[in-house]
Amino acid sequence: MKINFRKLVLNGLYEEAIFYYTKLHSTNAIPNTFYFDYPSIFKACKKLTLVSTGVQIHTHVIKTGFSSDVFIATSITDMYMKSGFFKGGANMFDEMTHRNIASVNSVISGLSQNGYFSESLLVFKNVGIGGFKPNSVTLASVLPACERLKNGLEIHGLAVKFGVEMDIYVATSLLTMYFNCKELVSGLKVFKLIQDKSVVCYNALLSGFVQNGLPVFVLKFFKEMRQVLEENPSIATLVSVLSACSDALNLRFGKQVHCLVLKHTAGSDVMVGTTLVDMYSKSGCWKDAYDIFKEMGDSRNLMTWNSMISGMMFNGKCEMAVELFEQLELVGLEPDSSSWNSMISGFSRLGKGIEAFHFFNKMQLAGITPSLQSVTSLLSACSVLYALRSGREIHAHTIRTAIEADEFISTSLIDMYMKCGFTSSARKVFDHGERTEDPAIWNAMISGYGTNGKHDFAHEIFDLMLKEGVIPNSCTFVGLLSACSHTGNVAKGWELFRTMDRNFGMKPNSEHFGCMVDLLGRDGRLDEAWNLIQEIAEPSSSVYASLLGACRLHLNADLGEEIVVRLLELEPGDPSPFVILSNIYAGQGRWKDVERIRDIMRDKGLRKLPGCSLIEVTENSTCV
């Protein structure tokens, strides 16, 4: 029986092609004309990532004397390169006595796809030396290696020179390159110039928008795609759109895409299923996410489990997250760095620092290297718990693992030390850390000094920030105004408040107004603070609460009563305003009004919750 291997591979029947080849070889029934079928067999090995099988067939080729043929040698090189066996691919390429542009393209493409960008560019630059003229495949293969815009522009120029810039593969690669380099306008221009748009180029566009944090544009162009193309969306399309729905918290659109998934029977794909789990989880529908997770059954991979664990943590279902985490080993999966990070960051975000540290210790015992996300999450937990000793242990870990200089780590360390009251330790981290144009690390210093009542140091950091050319943002002024509030420096507060618009073109928001209200209230300027609140379009409850606290300090019952009315409109279930007003009455000796407030609270079913503190005692933390 004559078998058409080329047809089998073209139809995606890779396993069948390998099976029939193995059968022919075992019976020594491979004809001399099989020379023409070897490229197809090596392509099947590449598609199935069967490197060991490819090596065996390569050995057969050497024995038959066909390895010197440029077409077979190119298919072997391509198989090795695309399967991640770079040494084998490079050796095969070096041994080729005769090369063509196809063999060069396979090396460039293999290096690019596996992240060896500089090597891919180097091979491309030597194309001309070998006497080859780059074609559209060459340019499309090297464009993913262009991490720098300069290199991408050079390749774009060559594409124009050779007249292939509108080739569908080159144009799609150009589009991806521009989006990777954050040149969205240029990328969109390339997309609009493509005449015969396909699902492939739309996928590149949608993926680029997701990558650059623009989910609204993903949904817009997906709608356009559905209108202009007759082709059904691919798996890659659905994953990009569902990711965008997740990022944009657009549950309604996500449900419509879910229906489309079911219509085109793409729900069985593990990537689509995992993205659906993530989308429903982030939209607060953890039960729907869990139902999809269970329906996926045996098709679930570690990424699916991690997404479900993260989703449970995101929705505050930490017990279910722990249960899922413990089930990983039962289903034959080993927790990776992402699994541990989901548990650690989840507990930290929920304020369960002790549990976060428990999983951090377990992760280290399991031999998993903590990621930057895990470390920053733990430092945040230390800040919340005021756990200085634990924070110092984490700091020591960052020094041992040489990640202390990372800006995110430095900022988290500063925040932890400041909240624990150790400003000198925070300053040491700041002085030795790397500082960029990002104001985050500066803001941590300013805010920390302000919280610790060191107003002068906060302004010293601000002056140094301006001197080094770092542009302050909204958070910078929140920290500065809070520092003024903690020290009662009204004049400096007003100066900074006016400076925002005058010197930096920044309109104060409700948070800045809230800081000024707090500052004026602490200084006893209650009427001035009340008038300032009237300038806020929609005052938040925190602004009113700040002024109510000042009324408590200065025993101003009349203004306090007005503020309580406003707070009840915003948060009718919060008992705090009544408690504070009752304290104001008590301070004035108005005991009948105190009783009246208590009766109102009783009628409304409101009661003050008892407070608790967490104190670090040797190795244990105790609630009192």
Give per-residue pLDDT as tens, 539-595: 888 888 888 888 998 898 889 888 888 888 888 888 888 888 899 989 989 998 888
Report how far residue 173's alpha carbon sits from residue 111's, in angstroms, rounded to the nearest whole number.
Answer: 15
**DSSP label at 370?**
P
pLDDT given for residue 266 in this prediction: 62
pLDDT given for residue 143 in this prediction: 94
Query: Residue 284: exposed, middle, or buried by beta-carbon count in 10 A (0-12, 13-18, 19+)?
Result: middle
Report how far residue 347's alpha carbon sits from residue 382's, in angstroms, rounded to the nearest whole number.
Answer: 12
Helix, coil or strand: residue 623: strand
At position 424, the amino acid (one-letter code) is S
**Distance from first CA to last CA of the chain, Å, rounded?**
83
The per-type count for the chain, helices as H runs and strands as E runs, is 36, 2
Which residue pairs from 579-587 have beta carbons closer than 8 angstroms and sit at least 24 positions apart in sequence? 579/608, 580/548, 580/549, 580/551, 580/552, 581/548, 581/557, 583/552, 584/551, 584/552, 584/555, 584/556, 584/557, 584/560, 585/557, 587/552, 587/555
pLDDT given for residue 623 in this prediction: 40
Report how far residue 81's alpha carbon sits from residue 475's, in angstroms, rounded to the nearest whole number.
Answer: 49
Residues of the chain with pLDDT under 70: 1, 29-35, 128-131, 265-267, 385-386, 608-624
| Largest interatomic CA distance in the chain | 109
Which residue pairs from 540-547 have beta carbons closer than 8 angstroms and sit at least 24 positions apart in sequence? 540/510, 540/514, 540/570, 541/567, 541/570, 541/571, 541/574, 542/514, 543/510, 543/513, 543/514, 543/517, 544/570, 545/576, 545/577, 546/514, 546/517, 546/518, 546/521, 547/517, 547/518, 547/521
For 166-176, write each residue's pLDDT tens digit.
Answer: 899 999 999 99
pLDDT given for residue 608 in this prediction: 67
Q: How far is CA 233 from CA 179, 195, 237, in A?
A: 21, 19, 6
Closest CA to 414 of 439, 473, 455: 439
